[in-house]
Structure 1
C-alpha cells in the first residue's frame, strides 16, 4: 500500500472556524506573541498565558471537521495516510484520521512543568494551582517560540518514506516544519493546496490555488481514481 504523507497548516482549520492566532499585524488575539507563546511570557504572567489557551480550548468545542479533514480520512480506503500537522486542534482525529503527528503540540493536552514527559488529556480550563502528581504547575502542551520541536524527528522519518506528499493550508514559511518538503524522496509527487501558494509549480509539484475544503477533495478523488485504475 502506497504511503501518502500530508502536511497541514492553519488554512485547513480556519475553514472550520478556528482562529489562526496571528493577525495581519503580527499580534495573537491582540497580544505580542512573546507574551502568550514563549517561556519568557509564561514566567512573567502565567494567568495571561493560561487564559489565552483556555479561550482556544473553549473555541475548539464549538467547531467541527470540514470537507478537507473528511476527505483525508476517505483517502485511507486505498492508502496508508500519515498526517503531520502544525495545528494544535484535534479536527483530524475527530474526522477519523488514524495517524496524526502534532508538531506544535495539542490544545486538549497539558503537561507537567516538572516532567515534560508527563502529559495529560485535558478538556476543561487549565488554571493556576492545577498541579501534576509531583505538585508542580501544569502548562499547555504546546510548543512555544524558542522551544524544541520534539516530534520533528518522527515527522522527518515519515516524510522520507512518502510515495506522495500533500501540503495543505500552510505558507511553508515557518521552520522547522517548512523544511519537511526537502526530506521527501526525489521525484515524489507533491500536491500543494493553498489559496495563495508560496511555491511554483514544477514537473513533480502540482498547485491547487484554492481553499482546503474544495482543493483537498479534488486531490483525493484524483488519487482514489488513479488507484482504482491500476
Structure 2
C-alpha cells in the first residue's frame, strides 16, 4: 500500500494549513518572501526565524488517529507513505517508510555546500521576527531542508516515491488538494497503470471524479477502519 498524504491530514492534528486564508500560517506573511531562495538571499534572518518557529511549533502537535492507522497497517502489509507535509507526524506515529517530497522541518543543510547540519538550534519559546541562522564551516548559512518555490524536489525522495506508487496494490490519497505538481501527478500515474486509487478528503478535489473511490471523510475518521472496508469498496 502507498499512502499519499497532504496538508489536510496534518490539519486534523491542529497544524494550520497554508491554504487557509483566514487562519493559515501565511495569512499575515508574504509566502514568497519566506519560502523562496530569493527571500532567503534578501532576508535569511527572517526566513530562519519563520522556519525555526514552525520547527518548534510542530513539537507541540501530536499525530492523529489517521497517522496512527497508517502506521498500524504495517503489521500486515508493506506500507509506504509519500507526504507533501514537512512535519514528522507520520514518523512519530510509527510509520517506517516515509518519503518527504517537499523536505522536512527536522533536517537542515548548508546553503553553499549542502552538507547536512546536526548542530544545536537556538530555543524559541515564541515567534520572533528575526534570528541569525547558524553558519557552516565553509562559511555558508544553515537553511531548512525544505523545498521552496522554484526549487526541484529532492531526487532521491522523488525516485523512491515514484517506485512506491508504481509497485502499490492500492494507493490512498489523503488530505491533498490535488493541485500541487509534480506530487499531484503521482495518483494520476497510479490510475494510468491500473492501480486502484482511493481518495479520502472531506472536500471535492480535481482528482475526485477520476479515482476508483472517493470518500468524503476526514483521515482520522476514515483511515482507522479502512482496511476492513477495502474488500467492499473495491468490489
RMSD: 2.1
**d(CA) in 2 for partners of 1:12, 1:206:** 18
1:45-102 CA deviation, whole Å, 9 max, x = no partner?
1111111111211210111000000000111111100000000000000000000000
Aligned to 1:109: 107
Aligned to 2:126: none
SS in 1 for 2:14: coil
Deviation, structure 1 residue 106: 0.6
- Of the structure 1 ranges 42-51 and 150-159, higher mean CA displacement relative to structure 2 is found in 150-159
User: Is 2:222 the counterpart of 1:215?
Assistant: yes
| Number of matched pairs | 219
Q: 1:122 to 1:175 in 2, by over 3 A?
A: farther
Deviation, structure 1 residue 215: 1.3
Deviation, structure 1 residue 134: 2.2
Aligned to 2:13: 16
5 Å-filtered alignment, 1:7-156, equals: 7-24=4-21, 28-116=26-114, 118-121=115-118, 124-125=121-122, 127-150=131-154, 151-156=157-162
Deviation, structure 1 residue 14: 0.6
Aligned to 2:127: none
**d(CA) in 1 for partners of 2:19, 2:112:** 29
User: Is 2:202 the counterpart of 1:195?
Assistant: yes
1:191 touches 1:219 (CA, 8 Å); kept in 2? no
Q: 1:56 to 1:27 in 2, by over 3 A?
A: closer
Give the unaligned 5+ runs of structure 1: none
**d(CA) in 1 for partners of 2:120, 2:56:** 9
Deviation, structure 1 residue 201: 4.6
Q: 1:217 to 1:201 in 2, by over 3 A?
A: farther
TM-score by length of 2: 0.86
Deviation, structure 1 residue 27: 7.6
1:161-198 CA deviation, whole Å, 9 max, x = no partner?
11110000001100010001122263212110001021
**d(CA) in 2 for partners of 1:60, 1:15:** 13
